[in-house]
Amino acid sequence: MIIPVLASICVLILTIWFYIKNTMSYWSRRGVIQIENKHFWSREFFGTTIRDKYQYGKSLNQKYIGTYIFSSPVFFPIHPPLIKNVIQHDFSHFRGHGNYNEPKDILSMHLFNVEGEIWKNLRVKLTPTFTSGKIKMMFETLLEKTHGLEKVVGDYADRKAACDIKDVLGRFTTDVIGSCAFGIECNSLEEPDNDFRCYGKKVFERAPSRLFYVIFIPHWILMASDFKFHGKEVTDFFTNLVKSTIKYRQDNNIVRKDFLQLLIQNDSVTVDEIIAQCFVFFLAGFETSSTAMTFALFELASNQHIQKKLRGEIEEVLKKFNGNLTYDAVIEMKYLDMVVNDNVNAQDINNYVQKISILTFYYLVQLDSSKNQNGTKYHSKYHTPEIGRYELLVVFNLEAVDM
Ligand code: HEM
């Protein structure tokens, strides 16, 4: 009895060992340098792991390397022209970021999460919302919020007190997005503990268990148990907020100059889609912008000559616009643009992007080699038909991209 049991255990262990070996040699079997992952119990920040892999691949003079996220093969471009192809020339072939999205979990169905045809259709519907004319219209709404910022920072300056600028700017961007995307006055600058700010902070609280569920538990089981990635409380708060604001505007014929209004007027967008897109504005806009501004202020404080030059430009342009800060005035501030862009690039505000390819690995290798082929079809020895649609993730480090 004992021998068959032992034999079965050995067969099981060997099968698992071969499976892992086979999966984790996907790239090396194709002649691509591969960088393996740290142990799964490593607590290192994912962005740091990505940066290290990028720098290692670069030190080996590789145009791309292969790596893995769990058992999925990941193509990791390093050579800037290759990355440029992914984000510019072939943008439409990389439809999605490989994130969790489920129609029953309304907040998950936003532009940054959805994939394939759903992403493409949503993008087509939303593109008219982002014309420069419409952004210009929203500028007024944004400008109103700067008065509160001026007051809070001014109070600190008058008292000669130290100011936690990250917190103040987080409250400022919360107020801007609350107003532009949700059409509400949340006054976080004056009332730091209001509901919008509290629920907003909860969105960014780490919930490792929910991440674990979406990776390891089949989604049909999660949906059957009414799972919400951001938790039920946060989901209900943002859903009800948008629904009640839409109803209030429709019942009272109120029209505001904000993103929500543009979405309401766009007949092709459903209410659930509006809720998810307002939410992504908050998700993608609040922390990124406040972090970028915090770093920019730190750099300006550390480099007084740049600060002086920037102040000079701002004063000069404002004089031309009779002291009024308008959209056109900001567009004329070229040095400001350079300072902001340089800062976003240098500070790793968002240090990598992960994308899902609808192409095959064959295509990606072809991309790299096509420049010598004069347009003739390139038959690569790496052609691997078994890697098909949506199975290949592409990750790249933004350090390599000249944005
Ligand atoms: C410093 C500020 C910001 C940084 C560094 C940043 C960075 C990024 C990056 C790297 C992507 C991925 C692009 C791609 O897949 O090719 C992205 C996408 C996106 N961002 Fe931002 N972002 C910032 C601010 C904002 C703001 C203020 C909003 C909205 C209010 C926003 C909304 C979005 C949306 C909706 C997407 C998804 C676009 C799509 O997949 O079609 N971001 N952002």
Nearest CA to ligand 1 atom 12: 353
pLDDT, position 382? 34
Q: Once rounded to an integer, what is the mean pLDDT over residues 174-188?
A: 89
Q: Which fold has domain 125-302?
A: Cytochrome p450 (1.10.630)
Q: Which two tokens stand for residue 283?
A: 């998700």
Closest to 200 in 3D by CA, of 135, 284, 271, 272:
284
Q: Which atom of ligand 1 is nearest to the CA of 277?
A: 35
How many C-beta atoms surround the C-beta of residue 183 within 10 A?
Answer: 23
pLDDT, position 388? 36
CA distance 153 to 166: 12
Q: Which atom of ligand 1 is nearest to the CA of 87?
A: 16
pLDDT, position 233? 93
Nearest CA to ligand 1 atom 4: 288
Nearest CA to ligand 1 atom 13: 353
Closest to 76 in 3D by CA, of 38, 34, 44, 113:
34
335 near 315, Cβ under 8 Å?
no
Region of poorest pLDDT, from 75-84, 129-138, 177-186, 393-402: 393-402
Residue 75 amino acid letter:
F
Q: Once rounded to an integer, what is the mean pLDDT over residues 118-130?
A: 87
Cβ-proximal residues to 66 (8 Å cutoff; 6+ apart), any chain:
26, 27, 28, 30, 32, 33, 34, 35, 73, 74, 75, 76
Query: 267 CA distance to ligand 1 centroid (A)?
Result: 24
Query: 78 CA distance to ligand 1 centroid (A)?
Result: 21
pLDDT, position 156? 95
pLDDT, position 93? 76
351 near 330, Cβ under 8 Å?
no
Query: 284 CA distance to ligand 1 centroid (A)?
Result: 6
Region of poorest pLDDT, from 34-43, 79-88, 200-209, 243-252: 34-43
Query: 290 CA distance to ligand 1 centroid (A)?
Result: 14
pLDDT, position 87? 81
DSSP states along 157-177: HHHT----HHHHHHHHHHHHH
Q: Which of 95, 294, 350, when mutated, tests ligand 1's pocket best, judged by the most ligand atoms within 8 Å of its CB?
A: 350
Q: Once rounded to an integer, what is the mean pLDDT over residues 28-55?
A: 79
| 3-class SS shares of the chain: helix, strand, coil, % to 5 | 60, 5, 30
Domain positions in the chain? 22-94+351-400, 125-302
Residues touching ligand 1 (Cβ under 6 Å) are 87, 111-112, 123, 280-281, 284-285, 288-289, 292, 344, 349-350, 353
257 near 138, Cβ under 8 Å?
yes
Nearest CA to ligand 1 atom 32: 284
Q: Which atom of ligand 1 is nearest to the CA of 177?
A: 30
Q: Once rounded to an integer, what is the mean pLDDT over residues 257-276?
A: 91
Does 373 score more than 80 pLDDT? no
Does 381 score more than 50 pLDDT? no
322-348 pLDDT, tens digit per residue, is: 999 999 999 999 999 999 988 887 777
pLDDT, position 377? 36
| First-residue to last-residue Cα distance in the chain | 66
pLDDT, position 30? 75
pLDDT, position 172? 94
> How is the beta sheet containing 392-397 ordered, strand by strand?
64-69, 72-77, 392-397, 352-357
Determine what percent of the chain is predicted with pLDDT higher than 90. 38
Residue 397 DSSP SS3: strand
79-114 pLDDT, tens digit per residue, is: 887 787 778 877 877 788 888 999 999 999 999 999
126-168 pLDDT, tens digit per residue, is: 888 878 888 888 898 889 999 999 999 999 999 999 999 999 9
Q: Which of 127, 288, 347, 349, when mutated, tests ligand 1's pocket best, judged by the most ligand atoms within 8 Å of its CB?
A: 288
Does 371 score more than 70 pLDDT? no
pLDDT, position 333? 97
Q: Which helix (H) or strand (E) holds 73?
A: strand 72-77
CA distance 308 to 339: 12
50-79 pLDDT, tens digit per residue, is: 888 888 988 999 888 888 887 778 888 888
Q: Which two tokens stand for residue 125?
A: 């519907």
pLDDT, position 41? 65
Query: 35 CA distance to ligand 1 centroid (A)?
Result: 28
**Model confidence, pTM:** 0.82
CA distance 99 to 276: 14
Does 403 score more than 80 pLDDT? no
pLDDT, position 224? 94
Q: Which of 101, 112, 398, when mutated, tests ligand 1's pocket best, judged by the most ligand atoms within 8 Å of its CB?
A: 112
Burial string for 61-84 (b: 16+ CB within 10 Å, else e) reads ebebbbbbeeeebbbbbbbeebbe
pLDDT, position 362? 56
Helical axes 271-302 vs 116-126, angle rounded to 10°: 80
Please state, in angstroms and as integers, the Cα–Cα distance from residue 132 to each residue in 92, 97, 136, 179, 285, following that order.
Answer: 22, 26, 6, 19, 18
pLDDT, position 361? 59
pLDDT, position 167? 92
Query: 129 CA distance to ligand 1 centroid (A)?
Result: 15
On the 0-12 / 13-18 / 19+ scale of CB atoms within 10 A, 399 is: middle
